[in-house]
């Protein structure tokens, strides 16, 4: 039987050398203004946006749609994978601009617009989470990172489409890459994708991939 899951789109902004931040997870604005506008339109089409806790700790993103980029704002639910509930109370996603779901492996409670749910034992069980989100009406999910979360979604074969905006910059060294996690240990474990489209966006380009 086909698994019940939202349509999953991964989106990230990368340097030419596949890095998505500076070394030490130091935040870096990689997208250009045209790409930022594209991402806000994409967010507006999705029912929820998901990130890992390390992205919250590194970048403190709002994960909302800015009105200037879209005709009618439809704020998606913000979802954070955070096994041990490390999220700071003053994180931007804790502010009431949109609903937030924090997915842990330890606690469950609801406080205002923030809901904490438990899914999994060690780390968040992504396959089970997909079913839970689908049952809650989340039919299109945008995964915005970071590196570990993108790897886990790909590895679990949960990704329907992957969009990478490449900026013509090189970061080098050991900065986080598009997909980190455990990674492939042999050729057999490679995750294979095919190119759906390539589009120039200002000084960069957007490549859309689908799983092979």
Ligand X SMILES: NC(=O)c1ccc[n+]([C@@H]2O[C@H](COP(=O)([O-])OP(=O)(O)OC[C@H]3O[C@@H](n4cnc5c(N)ncnc54)[C@H](OP(=O)(O)O)[C@@H]3O)[C@@H](O)[C@H]2O)c1
User: Binding residues for ligand X, per CB under 6 A?
Assistant: 12-13, 20-21, 25, 27, 30, 51-55, 58-59, 81-84, 86, 123-124, 126, 144-149, 152, 176, 180
Q: Which is closer to ligand X, CB of 100 or CB of 147?
A: 147
Strand ranges inside 42-155, DSSP E: 48-52, 77-81, 100-104, 109-111, 114-118, 140-143
Alpha carbons 44 and 70: distance in angstroms, whole number: 8
Residue 12: count other Cβ atoms within 10 Å of its Cβ. 22
Residues in the chain: 212
Helix (H) or strand (E) holding 153: helix 147-155
Residue 79 burial class via C-beta count within 10 angstroms: exposed 0-12, middle 13-18, buried 19 and up: buried
Alpha carbons 41 and 129: distance in angstroms, whole number: 25
Q: Which is closer to ligand X, CB of 47 or CB of 59?
A: 59
- The CB-of-197 to ligand X minimum distance in angstroms stands at 19
- The CB-of-27 to ligand X minimum distance in angstroms stands at 5
- The CB-of-142 to ligand X minimum distance in angstroms stands at 11
- The CB-of-193 to ligand X minimum distance in angstroms stands at 17
Q: Which is closer to ligand X, CB of 172 or CB of 187?
A: 172
- The CB-of-153 to ligand X minimum distance in angstroms stands at 8
Instruction: Find residue 200's DSSP bridge partners.
Output: 205
Q: Which is closer to ligand X, CB of 47 or CB of 54?
A: 54
Q: Which is closer to ligand X, CB of 72 or CB of 82?
A: 82
Longest dimension (CA), the chain: 48
Q: Which is closer to ligand X, CB of 125 or CB of 187?
A: 125
- The CB-of-25 to ligand X minimum distance in angstroms stands at 3
Alpha carbons 108 and 102: distance in angstroms, whole number: 9
């Amino acid at each position: 039987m086909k698994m019940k899951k939202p349509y999953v789109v991964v989106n990230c902004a990368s340097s030419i050398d596949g890095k998505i931040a500076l070394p030490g997870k130091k935040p870096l604005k990689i997208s250009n203004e045209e790409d930022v506008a594209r991402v806000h339109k994409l967010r507006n089409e999705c029912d929820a946006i998901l990130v890992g806790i390390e992205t919250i700790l590194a970048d403190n993103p709002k994960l909302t749609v800015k009105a200037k980029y879209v005709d009618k704002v439809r704020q998606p639910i913000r979802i954070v994978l955070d096994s041990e509930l490390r999220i700071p109370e003053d994180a931007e996603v804790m502010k009431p601009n949109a609903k937030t779901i924090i997915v842990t492996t330890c606690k469950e409670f609801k406080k205002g617009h923030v809901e904490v749910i438990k899914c999994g034992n060690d780390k968040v069980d992504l396959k089970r989470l997909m079913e839970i989100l689908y049952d809650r009406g989340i039919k299109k999910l945008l995964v915005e990172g970071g590196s570990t979360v993108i790897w886990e979604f790909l590895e679990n074969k949960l990704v329907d489409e992957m969009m990478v905006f490449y900026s013509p910059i090189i970061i080098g060294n050991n900065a986080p890459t598009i997909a980190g996690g455990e990674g492939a240990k042999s050729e057999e474990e490679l995750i294979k994708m095919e190119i759906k489209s390539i589009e120039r966006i200002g000084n960069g380009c957007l490549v859309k991939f689908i799983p092979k």
